[in-house]
Amino acid sequence: MIRREIEKVILENLTYFPITGIIGPRQVGKTTLARFITARLGRPYVHLE
């Protein structure tokens, strides 16, 4: 996976907010980023489209 600068921001925000939305254009890695972060945290996630 490509390391993204936003990953650090999302991880920090998740300490304050239990729900986070990742938005952006098609096929830029939003789902991959979400899966990587939740695997790192060891928490389940819900994917909504």
Asked, for residue 46, whether it belongs to a domain, the answer is no
| pLDDT tens column, 1-49 | 677 788 889 889 888 988 888 899 999 888 888 888 888 888 777 767 6
Give the Cα separation of 44 and 26 in Å (integer).
23
SS3 content of the chain, % helix, strand, coil (to 5): 45, 0, 55
Q: What is the value of pTM for the model shown?
A: 0.73
* Residue 1, pLDDT score: 62
In a domain, 1, yes or no: no
Is 14 domain-assigned? yes
Structural domain includes residue 13: yes
Q: What is the distance between the alpha carbons of residues 6 and 20, in angstroms, rounded to a whole number?
A: 12
Question: 24 lies in which domain range?
Answer: 6-41
49 falls within a domain: no
pLDDT at residue 19 in the model? 84
Residue from 45, 15, 17, 13 nearest 30 by CA: 45
Q: How many domains is the chain built from?
A: 1
Structure tokens at 32: 């991959």
Confidence (pLDDT) at 26? 93
Residue 29 pLDDT: 87
Is residue 27 in a domain? yes
